[in-house]
Amino acid sequence: MSMLVNVEDRDKFEIITLNRPDKLNALDVDLRKEFLKVLKEFNADLKKRVAIITGSGRGFTVGADIVSLQNLDSADLASDLKETFYPIIREIRFGNKIYIAAVNGVTAGIGISIALACDIRFVAKGSRFVLAFQGIGLSPDGGLTLMLSRLTSGGFAQKVVFEGELKTEEADSFKIFNVVENPLSEAIKVAERISSGPFKAYLATKKQINKALFSDMEEYLDYESSLQGYLGKTSDFKEGVKAFLEKREPIFRGE
């Protein structure tokens, strides 16, 4: 059992818990590497069929750890995405297992992307989805815009990414997430049913969905990372991170 990622073995399925509760499970480099290692091991285990991803404490995950971006001059966001964040998304979205998100409390930034990459998603009533990207001078990443557009509609996705928040009732109405009292409890019920059912049929269904909706994911991620790499070199990004760390409103200049 890792300090950063807890894995609970339930025979044919596992519960994977991001475990950095004092930081709302913010994904620093160590947590990202450990999470990716756990996902790869799970996907390689022929005995396992379903994984539930959840977060400890008051949130699912608030995405990238902004504190780790303090050395702004050397920030290479494109490489950062390609080396750790995108592999996490791929293992979940294209792995030969079924993934269920059990979302609690606050989810922000690329944490939303991780939840959307899952095949089935439960969220607790009153939870919050905050995109947060524009607040530090960036655009959405982790395939968020693509997945949100394909799972809902282009118009709704535009509304969400520009307004910067996805309301729980909106997530429910579009059936992106199933809003429930206890996400983990509901996720366990579904994991038990799928892991003891016709798993090859479930997996084939996932592959059909990927073919229908996400066959161009790699091309999109390439484009997205180039944009984010460019934005990571702007003055607005530096000001956004500086303002976040100083706990004040950023003063953007569009530069």
Q: Which residues of the chain have pLDDT under 50?
A: 1
Give the CA distances from residue 51 to residues 77, 181, 239, in Å, rounded to whole numbers and listed in that order: 29, 20, 39
Residue 142 located in a structural domain: yes
Residue 97's φ and ψ, nearest 5 degrees, are -140, 170
63-92 confidence digits (pLDDT tens): 999 887 766 555 689 998 999 999 999 999
For the chain, the domain total comes to: 1
Residue 188 located in a structural domain: no
* Collapsed DSSP state (helix, strand, coil) of residue 50: strand
Domain around 67: 5-183
Q: What pLDDT shows up at residue 72?
A: 53
**CATH number for position 58:** 3.90.226.10
Residue 62 located in a structural domain: yes
Q: What pLDDT shows up at residue 25?
A: 97
Residue 219 located in a structural domain: no
Taking Cα atoms as reference points, which of 18, 52, 2 lies closest to residue 182? 52
Q: What pLDDT shows up at residue 53?
A: 98
- Cα dihedral sign, 75-93-6-121: positive
Q: What pLDDT shows up at residue 155?
A: 83
Q: What pLDDT shows up at residue 231?
A: 94
Residue 177 located in a structural domain: yes
CB neighbours (10 Å) of residue 33?
A: 17
Residue 166 located in a structural domain: yes
